[in-house]
């Protein structure tokens, strides 16, 4: 058994087995742990500037890969016109750079903010680093080995279908450059660690939200105690009409006669 068979034939099935078994066990045994465990209450500004480009970028890129897996012939027909091929390649590279920027912001936020770092688990950092490797190798592949959308349906689509149909063909990726092989292997690593991290919240589709009644969120806060108002300082008594009147009434005692 050589490294090619171990990394691209044996390990993919280990990753898929962990993905299915551990995810099922976690959802049945610890359903409340299947959550994104959002840290939005701890810090919002960097989360917004990192989460929006990262999530939207990853979503569109994954949809593009899924399209190449399901309808490879349609993708090849689209790329038959050079201008459409260039448009697809430039769009994919721009999305990858946009996603990379968002991921770097999230990684910086996770490691620099004290409150966020206090609730950070080792798996959180591992997932971000694996995603960083995946995006960087994807960008290097797009820059160094052009027109990936053209050769992906011819190479990776048959390889992935051979794994899913239990007829593995690791020889399809044996002669690929190192960065492309790293990109493929990192994908299987992500699937293997997926059920052990907060990424598992991706597969929890909240269908109940479509028909449940509106939820009203009310903040419960302790009433603030009213501080006693200090009494207003009284001015020093001055000679007024009343004291003078009193003195006049007692003229016999204080008279000048």
- The model's pTM: 0.74
Residue 55 annotated in ligand binding:
yes
2 part of a folded domain: no
When mean pLDDT is compared across 136-140, 194-198, 199-203, the lowest value belongs to: 199-203
Split at pLDDT 50, 70, 90, the class of 149 is: confident
243 part of a folded domain: no
Cα 162 to Cα 168: distance, rounded to the nearest angstrom: 5
What digits encode the pLDDT tens for the residues 103-133? 999 999 999 988 888 888 898 899 999 999 9
Q: Which domain does 154 fall in, by range?
A: 46-205
214 part of a folded domain: no
Which CATH number fits the domain that encloses residue 201? Answer: 1.20.950.20
pLDDT value of residue 246: 45
255 part of a folded domain: no
Q: Yes or no: say if 86 and 151 are a contact pair by the CB < 8 Å rule.
A: no
136 part of a folded domain: yes
254 part of a folded domain: no
Residue 183 annotated in ligand binding:
yes
Mean pLDDT of 167-174: 91
Residue 252 annotated in ligand binding:
no
Cα 183–Cα 59–Cα 148 angle in degrees, nearest 5: 40
What digits encode the pLDDT tens for the residues 50-95? 999 999 999 999 999 998 899 988 888 888 888 988 999 999 999 9
* Domains held by the chain: number: 1
Residue 206 has pLDDT above 90, yes or no: no
34 part of a folded domain: no
138 part of a folded domain: yes
Residue 201 annotated in ligand binding:
yes
């Amino acid at each position: 058994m050589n490294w090619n068979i171990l990394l691209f034939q044996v390990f993919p099935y280990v990753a898929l087995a962990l993905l299915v078994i551990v995810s099922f066990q976690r959802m049945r045994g610890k359903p409340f742990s299947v959550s994104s465990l959002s840290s939005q209450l701890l810090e919002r500004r960097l989360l917004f500037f990192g989460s929006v480009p990262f999530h939207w970028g990853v979503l569109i890129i994954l949809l593009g890969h899924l399209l190449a897996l399901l309808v490879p012939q349609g993708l090849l027909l689209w790329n038959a016109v050079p201008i459409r091929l260039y448009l697809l390649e430039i769009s994919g590279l721009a999305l990858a750079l946009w996603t990379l920027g968002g991921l770097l912001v999230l990684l910086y936020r996770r490691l620099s903010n004290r409150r966020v770092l206090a609730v950070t688990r080792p798996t959180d950092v591992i997932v971000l680093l694996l995603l960083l490797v995946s995006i960087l190798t994807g960008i290097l592949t797009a820059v160094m080995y052009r027109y990936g959308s053209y050769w992906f349906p011819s190479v990776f689509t048959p390889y992935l279908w051979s794994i899913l149909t239990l007829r593995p063909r690791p020889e399809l990726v044996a002669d690929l450059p190192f960065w492309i092989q790293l990109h493929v292997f990192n994908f299987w690593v992500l699937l293997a660690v997926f059920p052990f991290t907060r990424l598992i919240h991706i597969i929890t589709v909240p269908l109940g939200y479509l028909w449940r009644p509106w939820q009203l969120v009310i903040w419960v806060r302790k009433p603030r105690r009213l501080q006693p108002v200090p009494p207003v300082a009284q001015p020093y008594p001055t000679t007024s009409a009343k004291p003078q009147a009193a003195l006049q009434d007692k003229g016999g005692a204080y008279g000048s006669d």
